[in-house]
Amino acid sequence: MCRHVAWLGAPRTLAGLLLDPGHGLLHQSWEPRRQAHGTVNADGWGVGWYSPARPEPARWRSSRPMWAEASLTSVAPHVASGCVLAAVRDATVGMPGDESACAPFARGRHLLSHNGVVDRSVLPAEAWPRAESVCDSAVLAAHLLDEPAALGERVAAVGAADPRARLNVLLADGERLLATAWGDTLSVLQAPDGVAVASEPWDDDPAWSDVPDRTLVTVTPDGVDLTPLEIP
C-alpha cells in the first residue's frame, strides 16, 4: 500500500504541500496514521506538477525513501504550482523496486497515482506495452490513462473483475482532479485557496472530510463533487 496527495488551487510550494504539514506526505512515509495495509512507505516516492512553461507536467521520482532524498528539502521550497500530485510507495511483494514503478505515472497532460493492489491478470493485455513498469500500479495506470474521463467506470470494472483489489486512484490534468475511494481511506480538504485530496489528512484541521468507500471525487475550480461508484 502507499499514500498520495493532490492539490488544485492557488499555487503552493512543494514544501508547503509535502514537507511542512505536521502529518504531511513526508511524515506519512514513515508513520502513516490511517494505512491499513503496510506500515512504512520507504520504497520510493514521486511528485508531478504543472507550470505555464509547457502543457506536460514535470515529474521527479526516486526509488529512495522520501526522508533520504536530501535535495528535496532544498528544491521543494522553490517550486510552486497550482496543481500537484505526489505519492510515497510501499511496494507490493514481488514487484520491481526501481523508480519507474513509483507514481505518479504520466501520459500527455495526465498524472496518475494508485494506492492499493490489483491482480494484473484482470487488466487488458494491450495496457502492458504502454505501462512504465510491470508493477501492478503501472499496468493499472496504463489502462486507466487510455480513457481518463472514464476513470470511475474503469475502476469499477476492474473492481468487479478482482473483488480483492484496492483501487484508490488520483488523476490530475492541470485543471481538475479525479479520485476514487475503493478499499482504503481518502479525505478531502476544501481550503479558501483550493482543494486537497489525500489518502489521509496532513493535519488535524476539522475541515477535512472523509470520502465514502466506492466513490468518485471530481475537483474543479468550481468545487467538489462526489459520485457513488457501483459494480457494473
* Active centre residues (catalytic): 2
Q: Which of 170, 200, 166 is nearest to 185 (CA)?
A: 200
Q: Roughly how many angstroms between the first and final C-alpha of the chain, as a whole number?
A: 25
The Cβ-side half-sphere exposure at 40, using a 13 Å CA radius, reads 7
Q: Which of 5, 128, 100 is nearest to 44 (CA)?
A: 100
The three state secondary structure string of the chain is: CCEEEEEEEEEEEHHHHHHCCCCCHHHHCCCCCCCCCCCCCCCCEEEEEEECCEEEEEEEEECCCHHHCHHHHHHHHHCEEEEEEEEECCCCCCCCCCHHHCCCEEECCEEEEEEEECCHHHCCHHHHHHCCCCCHHHHHHHHHCCCHHHHHHHHHHHHHHCCCCEEEEEEECCCCEEEEECCCCCEEEEECCEEEEECCCCCCCCCEEECCCCEEEEEECCEEEEEECCCC
Place of cell 481550503: 191
